[in-house]
Amino acid sequence: MEDSIRALAEGRVPETEELLNRLTVGVTPLVDFLTEQYLDGFISQGGSKIKFITGRKGSGKTHLSSLLLARARERGFITVRFSATKVWMHDFREIYLEILRRSGVETILKNCADGVIREMNYDPGQIRPGQKFIDHLAERQEADAISKSTIRAALRARFTQNPLMDNCFASCCSLLTGDLLGCPSLDAASRDAVLRCLFGDKSVKLGQLRALGISPARITKFNSRHMLRSLSELIHQSGYAGLVIVADDMEALLNANVNDPVRYTKMRREDAYESIRQLIDDIDSMRHLLWVCCFDRALIDDETAGLRSYQALWMRMQNEVIAPRFNSFADTLDLDRLADAVYTPEALCEMAKKRACALRKGGLEAQELSEDEAASLTRRALYGGIGLPLLVSRAVTGSFGKEDRTDV
């Protein structure tokens, strides 16, 4: 909690879900809408969707996506968040492997193994820690050929015969799940090779994989979207509601600073835009997947290097119908437009009160806002480079900067 309050004092989004919910003002109806229509509805029922969240710095993009991830975890989704400042966006292979590493595959495979055990009318809770299912059957004198055949058939139905899974990915998952069950059992070297293959290790020997019955395929930027579909299907097979991914800080695609470790040349940036374009085109072939991209308005406004510069992607992101009211169904959610509707002076005063209360509990100084001061912040936001939530945060802590501009 101390770290969360410190983050709040610095204008960052707190990581504690309790504090995050307590501080939320204005965007709750939008989060409720996304939860009801997507998490509880379309995604849970097998659909997939990609949404874009944009706005100025401090407009609430991270806050909104953090709330959405919290709601997703409550509903049994696997959630993954990564930043474009740390993961190369021009190579979808790197994106997929980052998602794979963060999703907790070994826990997912353990859940798949438990699912097989339940299908055979046994209770996974009765198996001792460290004991495999086949050993449990042997103790009951039930580890016969029929039981082993039933296990293999269940693994084939879940993995290698599943048309939504890549064959190499499915074979790896089948072997690893079978090893957890003890049928078939893998030695340490074989299990390590299968895991390395699953995680895209290029140094694993293909001959060793073929000996295990795997038709190895290297993970590339061309097949990694199919691998992502396989991962989403694996997650659903293991009993989770689906997969929710947030790609944050996408405005990093505009960064061309040679001193930064992650910088984008024109070619890399266009490759990144093409990767997103291909993801949009392939999203309907996936199941139980919600992908959210968050980025600063600069990525739209920059006509030379931004999204508008890559027409194939920009045409897919634009809304067919432009209405004066904020459209929560739109693929691109502009939080600057939402602010005009929800951040009244009264709402800003409530936001400041909640932030000040949290900071004071942490032993920090904070001040609340009057309605006149809140109205002044609204006028500042019209001409400043940052959004109202961050302006309120700085007003509460008394840390206005040059980029906030002066009042009018």
What DSSP line would sit under 287-326, residue for residue? -SEEEEEEEETHHHH-TTTSGGG-HHHHHHHS-SS--SS-
SS3 244: strand
Q: State mean pLDDT over 378-390.
A: 81
pLDDT at 403 over 60: no
The pLDDT of residue 401: 54
| 345-365 pLDDT tens trace | 888 888 888 888 888 887 777
The pLDDT of residue 373: 87
Name the β-bridge partners of 83. Answer: 248
The pLDDT of residue 231: 97
The pLDDT of residue 408: 33
Task: In whole angstroms, give the CA distance from residue 405 to residue 293.
Answer: 28
pLDDT at 181 over 70: yes
pLDDT at 1 over 70: no
| 149-176 pLDDT tens trace | 999 999 999 999 999 999 999 999 999 9
What DSSP element (H or E) covers 395?
helix 388-397
Tell me the whole-structure pTM to 2 decimals.
Answer: 0.91
CA angle 147, 150, 156 (to 5 degrees): 145
Q: State mean pLDDT over 19-23.
A: 82
pLDDT greater at residue 296 or residue 366:
296
- Please give the full DSSP string across 70-103, using - where no structure is assigned: HHHHHTTEEEEEEETTTS-SS-HHHHHHHHHHHT
pLDDT at 405 over 50: no
Calculate the dihedral angle through the C-alpha atoms of 32, 47, 17, 237, rounding to the nearest 10 degrees: 140
The pLDDT of residue 98: 97
SS3 332: strand
The pLDDT of residue 355: 85
pLDDT at 321 over 60: no
Task: In whole angstroms, give the CA distance from residue 274 to residue 194.
Answer: 31
DSSP assigned state of 131: -
The pLDDT of residue 358: 81
Share the mean pLDDT of the chain: 89
The pLDDT of residue 89: 93
Percent over 70 (pLDDT), the chain: 95
Q: State mean pLDDT over 63-83.
A: 95
The pLDDT of residue 393: 86
Residue type, 113: A
Q: List Cα–Cα distances, 124 to 39, 65, 221, 407, in angstroms.
A: 29, 35, 38, 64
